[in-house]
Amino acid sequence: METYTLSNGVEIPKVGFGTWQVASGEEAENSVLAALEAGYRHIDTAAAYKNEDSVGAAIKKSGIAREELFITTKLGSKAHSYEGAKEALAQSLENLGLDYLDLYLIHWPNPISLRDNLWQEANAGTWKAMEEAYEAGKIRAIGISNFRQHHIDELLKTAKITPHVNQIFANPSDEQKELVEYCKEKGILIEAYSPLGVGKIFEVPELKDLAAKYEKSVAQLVLRWSLQKGFLPLPKSVTPSRIKENLEVFDFEIAQEDMDFMDTLRGVAGMAKDPDAVGF
**In whole angstroms, what separates CA 251 from the centre of its chain?**
23
Residue 124 lies inside a defined structural domain of this protein: yes
DSSP structural state of residue 101: B
Specify whether the CB–CB gap between 43 and 75 falls below 8 A.
no
Indicate the pairing of strand 165-169 with strand 142-145: parallel
Residue 275 lies inside a defined structural domain of this protein: no
Domain with 74 in it: what CATH number?
A: 3.20.20.100
Cβ count within 10 A of residue 53: 17
Residue 219 lies inside a defined structural domain of this protein: yes
Count of structural domains, the chain: 1
Residue 155 lies inside a defined structural domain of this protein: yes
The domain in which residue 87 lies consists of: 3-262
Q: From first to last of the 280 residues of the chain, give the pLDDT tens digit.
A: 899 999 999 999 999 999 998 887 899 999 999 999 999 999 999 999 999 999 999 999 999 999 999 999 999 999 999 999 999 999 999 999 999 999 999 999 999 999 988 999 999 999 999 999 999 999 999 999 999 999 999 999 999 999 999 999 999 999 999 999 999 999 999 999 999 998 889 989 999 999 999 999 999 999 999 999 999 999 999 999 999 999 999 999 999 999 999 999 999 999 999 999 999 9
Name the H helices within 115-245: 119-135, 149-156, 177-186, 205-213, 218-228, 240-245
3-state secondary structure of 224: helix
Active site residue ranges: 49
Residue 278 lies inside a defined structural domain of this protein: no
Q: Which of 76, 180, 179 is nearest to 122 (CA)?
A: 76
φ/ψ region of 146 (left if φ > 0, alpha if ψ in -120 to 50, else beta) reads left
Separation CA 246–CA 15 (nearest Å): 9
Separation CA 33–CA 69 (nearest Å): 13
Residue 280 lies inside a defined structural domain of this protein: no
Residue 271 lies inside a defined structural domain of this protein: no
Residue 270 lies inside a defined structural domain of this protein: no
Give pLDDT tens digits for 257-274: 999 999 999 999 999 999
Give pLDDT tens digits for 73-120: 999 999 999 999 999 999 999 999 999 999 999 999 999 999 988 999
The strand pairing partners of 75, in sequence order, are: 106
Q: Which of 264, 268, 235 is nearest to 17 (CA)?
A: 235
Give the burial class of 198: count Cβ atoms within 10 A of its Cβ; 0-12 exposed, 13-18 middle, 19 or more buried.
middle
